[in-house]
Structure 1
């Protein structure tokens, strides 16, 4: 066994990537938790963006377009590479990106440990080549395990579910290296309550079911206008639409509904920093099934509806939560509207869904990671796992 000794105020290097907002949000949540526990030397690095800015911009564009153009191709590539092994040529190529930049960071920053919230694992090879004894961990930010996250020289894994822990163990990762922490979330999700003043702040009625529709950071959830039209046909609900950073979507919805007879039951928002407040007021959520957003809904015990999840990790996320009774997958506006109204008007169904959400919720993941991996504590690791 190897024992890593930390300084009283360890310096942490947190590596993320800017594909969507989830990996960055997880990194920030961990940094904030470290700060809350007296560790204020966390450095966040978008490794691919710093190492290969042109490649980063190109792949980010391809990734964002994959949700609307040829999503089947992205899903095929995801599923095709999902079982890849860490020592395959493809995995070695993927993990080589950012290696030189990370080498310089390790030399200049001299961190006590490295945390990954994105599976760009240049660290294991560098540790071996440079003879470093810096512990590293991986924080998995989806409910589906792609083998890109898995490497025998990662010292600690933080995962969202016990199912994923068992999957990692079946691949040869020792149990003592795996912590079921949940996915790190913003501070606001540690304790949620529907403060009456929030209804006034967001201009929402306190006595009607509120359906929260989140279009994603870039506003790419499809068919929102048609879905709103169908839901507004039901007089007993209010809609809250979060358009993210898409001004085009917000403008489109205003143009569609500003003269609608039921316009007073529709609220349109841009990017909401304190999304936990809206979640605390809502009855259910319609969203893209990104790992962080789903974890936020679990923390809020907010029934989840996913609409046309794209192939790849988001579809697998949705299928996993559906299998646990915590989410419903819909493929048309009519089906989605019907499923939402069934839930709202069926107390037993709503109660069962909230029970399923409660079983999966872990709103203290960032604190768990900070206290488990870092503060003046020792981490015990054994010989590298034998990954099958």
Structure 2
């Protein structure tokens, strides 16, 4: 009797921004919870294919996006459709075929899930060359579509919303290969929480409006941003800053907002593993519109203020969320101040945003509740 191979999913992610890794972790977590009979392994595609250069490449990419967002946006728009320009970029193979085959030989997956477009391109290339026949799924981690996600040998696409599905249909992807699942989010973001209990746990005021600020490590927080938060025009607010691993930003905020320098209450944290609890106890989040962060906020019914989205997928995400009525976009510091004043003075507006967020809970969040 031939022993059947145990199912094994290989998730290929990439560390350009946090979203691809977050989606990979969410899929791993869900698989472990709902399908413990399936083995799951996550591999960073960039780290595997470029073990010595991936850190430098990641740094250069992030600096490029922050320093020259208009150039990034131009290239993003130019390659969005399936055209000569986008084909030229797709032909620029950025991985080693031998390294990819070595990985697949080591892991021996029965299915590969890609949360990073470069990994999807690599898998499609290997399949088109007849080197592998492994079923491949691509998870698009933003509320938008782009040609670099689309490859001829992908077997299935998981997308965040119906308008992304419609875009893939325009790319001539067969409808039976597209599933509208929502963007994968980790289980803690799909649960219900007692807000008062959480505020008590973190020593926060039960009555003050609470604003969570995330994304400082990606260019959100600057001098103009801080001047808005230090403004006397704003009635007292409880601000929570999540700085992640950006210790420099954490020290800056402690200097600028510590003691009597602001009449607001301020909580500043570094890297934490309980962001879901801070979202659950907050009234509003100010953030960059990354696909995973905004999906987590939607699942916890948290209204959003999206600050200075960069051209490209962030602008697309922002347009989608504003269209839903679950978010407000602030294009600059002056706009941020005006919008924040309006929301804090008009609680009905905040309530309306929350209701729209609740009505727009991602499908993934509903499926695993």
Provide TM-score, normalisation by structure 2.
0.90
Q: In the alignment, does 2:7 pair up with 1:33? A: no
Q: Following the alignment from structure 2 to structure 1, what is the Cα–Cα distance between the partners of residues 13 and 347?
A: 41
Name the CA shift for 1:98/1:196 in 2 (closer, same or farther; >3 Å): farther
Q: In the alignment, does 2:139 pair up with 1:142? A: no
Provide the residue aligned with 1:72 in structure 2. 70
Q: How does 1:170-209 map to 2 (within 5 A)?
A: 170-209=170-209
Q: Secondary structure at the match of 2:92?
A: helix
Provide the residue aligned with 1:229 in structure 2. 230
Q: Secondary structure at the match of 1:53?
A: coil
Q: Following the alignment from structure 1 to structure 2, what is the Cα–Cα distance between the partners of residues 69 and 126?
A: 35
Q: How does 1:284-323 map to 2 (within 5 A)?
A: 284-323=284-323
Provide the residue aligned with 2:353 in structure 1. 353
Following superposition, the deviation at residue 110 of structure 1 comes to 1.4
Provide the residue aligned with 1:382 in structure 2. none
* Cα contact 1:47–1:101 (8 A) shared by 2: no
Q: Following the alignment from structure 1 to structure 2, what is the Cα–Cα distance between the partners of residues 342 and 263?
A: 19
Tell me the alpha carbon deviations over residues 14-72 of structure 1, each in whole angstroms, 9 at most, x when there is no partner.
Answer: 00000121111110110111111214511111112111134422321122113431221
Name the CA shift for 1:201/1:82 in 2 (closer, same or farther; >3 Å): same
Query: Which residue of the other structure, out of 99, 102, 106, is the alignment partner of 2:100?
Result: 102
* Cα contact 1:139–1:157 (8 A) shared by 2: yes
Provide the residue aligned with 1:381 in structure 2. none
Provide the residue aligned with 2:90 in structure 1. 91
Q: Following the alignment from structure 1 to structure 2, what is the Cα–Cα distance between the partners of residues 354 and 367?
A: 20
Name the CA shift for 1:197/1:207 in 2 (closer, same or farther; >3 Å): same
Q: Following the alignment from structure 1 to structure 2, what is the Cα–Cα distance between the partners of residues 42 and 102?
A: 18
Tell me the alpha carbon deviations over residues 165-195 of structure 1, each in whole angstroms, 9 at most, x when there is no partner.
Answer: 1111122112221111111112211113134
Can you give the 5+ residue segments of structure 1 that lack an aligned partner in the other structure?
1-6, 369-388
Following superposition, the deviation at residue 160 of structure 1 comes to 0.5
Q: Secondary structure at the match of 2:154?
A: coil
Name the CA shift for 1:107/1:302 in 2 (closer, same or farther; >3 Å): same
Q: Secondary structure at the match of 1:350?
A: helix
Tell me the alpha carbon deviations over residues 319-352 of structure 1, each in whole angstroms, 9 at most, x when there is no partner.
Answer: 2222222222212323212212322333442333
Tell me the alpha carbon deviations over residues 113-154 of structure 1, each in whole angstroms, 9 at most, x when there is no partner.
Answer: 000000012112212324533211000001121110111221
Name the CA shift for 1:72/1:264 in 2 (closer, same or farther; >3 Å): closer
Q: Following the alignment from structure 1 to structure 2, what is the Cα–Cα distance between the partners of residues 290 and 258?
A: 29
* Cα contact 1:219–1:244 (8 A) shared by 2: no
Following superposition, the deviation at residue 363 of structure 1 comes to 6.2
Name the CA shift for 1:159/1:348 in 2 (closer, same or farther; >3 Å): same
Name the CA shift for 1:130/1:49 in 2 (closer, same or farther; >3 Å): same
Q: In the alignment, does 2:17 pair up with 1:16? A: no
Following superposition, the deviation at residue 237 of structure 1 comes to 2.0
